[in-house]
Amino acid sequence: MRLAALFVLTLALTASGARLLAQGASPAQQHADQALQFAQQGDLKSAESELRKAVELSPGDSNFLTSLGGILGMEGDLRQANTYLAKAVKLNPQDPASRRNLAANQWQLGQLKEAHQNLDLLLRANPRDKIATFLLGMVSEKEKAYARSAKLLESVPDVLAQQPDGWAALANSYYHTGRTENARAALQRLLSPPANPRTVFLGGSIAMDALDYSNAETLFRSVRSSYPDRAALESEIALAEYRSGHVAESERTLLEAVKANHATSSGYVLLCRMLSAEGSDLRALRIAAQAAQAFPDSSDVLSTKGSVELKLRYFKDAVASYQKAAVLKDSAGVKRGLATAQWNAGLREQATSTFEQAMRQFPRDAQTCQVYGTLLLEDGSPENKARAVNLLKHALDLDQSATEPRYQLANLELTDGNPQQALAYLESAIKLDPNDSRLHFALSRVYRRLGRDSDAGKETEIYQKLKAAEQPGARNDAAGGTHP
């Protein structure tokens, strides 16, 4: 429970209020006193039971209702808690405790509008209500009103000291308002003194979302020995390492996680992708096979295995993996992978059928059209070429930001002796991706055919510069190991 302390505070206040009345010692009050004792001992169930008796005996007493709502909230039953808290507020609209707790629960239940209204009322009544200020800051963060959230949360540092989740929310608001250094400072507060591991993990996740990978890595690493879900943690550490460019470390983290049986399915998937990207395809396949055993119901794992098999040109195996993945979770990506594997395995009819099915099922998926179109160009037959052109054009209609269909269509126009049409495709593609060396190389070919030799020369120079930047130096790869 993120806001357990608030409720304990409320119960204490309620109880002390009740104690003032204890001279009369009504039976309801006696149950409330008993509840207080149970709550202090941590026996929430008994406390709840005692308070229910008190409410039953004295249903119009807002204090008992507030206390019962508080205990239910501490037990995690926010909806039931809110029933009692709402009654309490109705009976005593001026009581800030019950309204505060109601707002806190509403925030946690995602009832942001209601929470916001209650907190506005509290702050109108008492602008110095720090808890209400804090809660409105948290609600504002959820509402993506990051500037207001940051302003509210940074105004109550003493509450944040009690509620470290607030630092995480404040950091998120800072990130979203471009105040990265402030965000990092806020997250630093989770480390010293060390906050609850779950809160630190939350902070790490916020840093990840903000692409602040090294900070995320620091936060995740700090709870390595205490965070209960080790698999999720290791997966996040590896992802942070990977995204901050520490590929070798990331790979090591994941390999150790795999070895210690601490890998999540997403961790396995990331590891496979890393190994495959660096050309260690057989290792990637071994890991993928292990992942498929550990997570036989994960479509992501199976489609990743399929993609590694596809790269290794184990086409029939890839077909089998993608087929299983498609049964578990059909997606455009899985269908596309399956069709590509079928195509390369020589199952052209099946591949065609899968592609056609994918295009019916996911009519807005541009990539499927593009991949299908590109494959159809392989054999150079006029029929397939005509279909390929239609598919590539359709892919472009679906995704105007795509460069690949433009590139393919430009090459086709060039081959067909239509440099002017090729020019149009390439010029727009280069606007979208000026650093793709292929586009400049193709454009130089177009200019040459248009007799624009000077422009061709310029494009060749750009191509050469971009290509030089892409080229690795002398490498000790094995022959055949790095070829596509």
Compare residues 169 and 285 and give the one whose CB is closer to another protein: 285
Least distance between another protein and beta carbon 458 (Å): 13
Least distance between another protein and beta carbon 425 (Å): 14
Strands (DSSP E) contained in 123-207 are none
Compare residues 237 and 426 and give the one whose CB is closer to another protein: 426
Least distance between another protein and beta carbon 404 (Å): 12
Least distance between another protein and beta carbon 463 (Å): 6
Compare residues 261 and 476 and give the one whose CB is closer to another protein: 476
Compare residues 20 and 474 and give the one whose CB is closer to another protein: 474
Cα distances (Å, whole numbers) of residue 192 to 186, 187, 275: 11, 10, 36
Least distance between another protein and beta carbon 415 (Å): 7
Cα distances (Å, whole numbers) of residue 172 to 94, 168, 178, 253: 33, 6, 10, 27
Compare residues 135 and 375 and give the one whose CB is closer to another protein: 375
Least distance between another protein and beta carbon 366 (Å): 21
End-to-end distance of the chain based on CA atoms, in angstroms?
52
Burial class of residue 401 in the structure, from the number of CB atoms within 10 Å of its CB (0-12 exposed, 13-18 middle, 19+ buried):
exposed
* CB 234 within 8 Å of CB 242: no
Least distance between another protein and beta carbon 256 (Å): 20
Least distance between another protein and beta carbon 413 (Å): 13
Give the interface with another protein as residue ranges (CB under 8 A): 281-282, 312-315, 377-380, 411, 415, 437-438, 440-442, 445, 448-449, 456, 460, 463, 467, 472, 474-484
Within 8 A by CB and 6+ apart from 54, the residues are: 28, 29, 31, 32, 35, 61, 64, 67, 68
Instruction: Compute the CA torsion angle 191, 194, 196, 198 (nearest 10 deg).
Output: 30
Nearest to 178 by CA among 154, 156, 211, 135: 211
Compare residues 269 and 456 and give the one whose CB is closer to another protein: 456
* CB 69 within 8 Å of CB 52: no
How does DSSP classify residue 377? T
Compare residues 449 and 458 and give the one whose CB is closer to another protein: 449
Nearest to 172 by CA among 192, 146, 152, 134: 146
Compare residues 208 and 442 and give the one whose CB is closer to another protein: 442
Cα distances (Å, whole numbers) of residue 65 to 85, 92, 93, 132, 469: 6, 11, 13, 20, 70
